[in-house]
Structure 1
Amino acid sequence: MGIGLVDPILPALTDQLHATPTQAELLFTSYLVVTAVAMLVTGWVSSRIGAKKTLVAGLVLIVVFAAAAAASGSIGGIVGFRAGWGLGNALFIATSLAVIVGSASGGFGGAIVLYETALGIGIATGPLLGGLLGSISWRGPFFGVSVLMLVALVATVAFVEKTPPPAERSRLSEPLTALRHRSLRTTSLVGLLYNWGFFTLLGYAPFLMNLSAIRLGLVFFGWGLLVALFAVFGAIWLKDRFGTARTLYGSLVGVAVILAVIGTFSGSVPTVIVAVIASGAFVGLNNTLVTTAVMSISPVPRSVASATYGFVRFIGGGLAPLAAGLLAAGISVHVPFWIGAVVVLAGVALLTTVHRDLENADATADGEAAEEAVTEIPADPEEAILAEDALRHESGRS
């Protein structure tokens, strides 16, 4: 919710704090670049103090720095406090995914869907709440994030089971050395290229719509609903029918087309609104499937893979809004979106180099699912025979 809460007030910040769109885009850059770099130390910290304490530390930082941003009186102050906010974000994001994967009863696939469901709900409701609070004051969404993260902090302290540090401590170099593995390096770079396009849209599209905070909140609420629906339901349905690789090709091309449409018709407010809302479907698919791909084909522990992937992709997400602001001011508002479309298409080309790895990961996942189904022996002997045949079939495919 914290991402979406701030988005509807970007134009208001430029007006009320006498800032340029490029300066406002630094809110994304400072936040995401610090998040990216901090991802490199999350495993090191978690392995020394435990996952729960890492989550708590991250939430405390977000509560403090979001409140400080709300109390600030300048765009520079907000940008600086967003950097501290990004440090807390990194500690929380990387560790929460590892905790959910480790504790969910539905296995790895179920954990990813659960994680993306939570993200989808937050992404959908955040802009609406941000628009409501932003219509009162630009400070409202920042205070809103602080209060929400305080609720999350209390819930984490009260309900997340204590997690002692693991027996083996992580090394600071692990996330970077993991990039030696081709499959992880390639999918992480695909994530960077996709996030470049995604955060170009998320960061600069609000300046094209000329809407009030509440109306911007409603636009991104519609966008977020599609993100949630396609992340939870569409991604699984399409993956089962076409596989991870082919579904990702289609969804990435969809994002590129949306960016090209916005870049070409950036002067048409209705076109930009419809394109932004429609992009939610492709964003939802990508959010689930790229995360699943990184985790499933990575040859390193999932906690390390999560940190490595987060580091690489958030670099793209952090630099894209700043580049969009500079390009729009220096050349034209069309250019950032056209470049974003080309960058995302480059991600499609790069993804084809790990096509076979993704297909093998899908086959392995299908085999594991079939094996789990046979673990519970059916009461009916005929059902048991059918289950054994299914397992042999899946094993043969693998």
Structure 2
Amino acid sequence: MKMKLRAAAVVSASALLLAGCSGTGDGGDSGGGTGGLVGTGTGASCVIESPVKIGAALSLTGGAGSYGASQQQGLELALEELNAADGIEYKLSIEDDASEPRQGISVMETFAGDGTSIVLGPTLSNTAVAAMPIANEASMPVMGISTTAGGITDIGEFVFRDSLTEAQVIPQTIDAVIDEYDLKKVVVMYSNDDAFTESGYEVMAETLEGTNVEVLDTLTFSKADTDFRSLLTAAKDKNPDAIVVSALIEAAIPLVTQARELGIEQPIVGGNGFNNPKLMADAGDAAEGVVVGAAWNSASDNAENQAFLTAYEAKFGAQPDQFAAQAYAALYLIDSAVRSDCSAERADLRESIGSLKDVATPLGAVSINADRDAEHPAVVQIVKDGKFAVLR
């Protein structure tokens, strides 16, 4: 409810600005263009004369900077590949939302008024809650590529995402951990000042309520905290079978490191915020055995994923993470939608994205459901030998 109220406030505050930048034009479309974005043919034979403008609001700086950097690389690779094909030229504009809702609003207002066909991002759910209503009010499609909090697509009919929600991933993760480690009792920890981590906690709590696992205690902290020793000591004193945590990577790294320093050997189960190679790079051996639910795993042997891995390493000299994979997949989903109707007009894109079914991507076969959320297989991972491996 709080998310919806904040979103409504943003819409009200932005209404006057949007009235001047989202007019329908002479042709009656809402895409910021006047016909040049409707082409001929379909699929691989689709030809659109005008460049198709795509925006991306990414957290290149601030608390989520590591996620945004991965997303930028995923998008750059996909753009290079798609522009090598015939018929459509994509122009990608990437702007930094600085991991802050206010900056995200400013970026989205710019895209809403400059003829951009669709926007990817923002990176964080709390920034998306503030900024996505502007896109929806401008009748400009927007696709979340890492926003997993509940209620995102409830913002409006122009809001989509290719990132699986916490509600799609966490229950599967907890069920797998219960079976794997025969859990009877846990301590839950979460950052209570961030929409993404709060949403993750809510799903964790609801899932655990439906099991026979006892929650011994629930401990909260700030997303800016870096010293968790007192909380971890309190958790250790409860002697849980595991610690379940919803946190961003900046908190996850010191939390995991300090837990092992304090002699906590029980499994640590993380939410989607743990899905970052920085966990292993910065926490080192302390990350071993951490379990994380994910929308993607590099071990997947589908052809699109193997091609993505090879191309990414060739271009950037490193292996991608989930955030790069989701960003890369999103641009291919957009291309599939554009080519299906051979139109990049905003209203047409809303219809064609909503109709996507079983599009082959590194994430697996992706479909967009009636709630404008992505559906594709999830995976439960465990850190083993410094890498994410499939637990089941």
Q: What is the TM-score normalised by the length of structure 1?
A: 0.28
More strand by share: 2
More helix by share: 1
Higher relative contact order (CA 8 A, sep 6+): 1
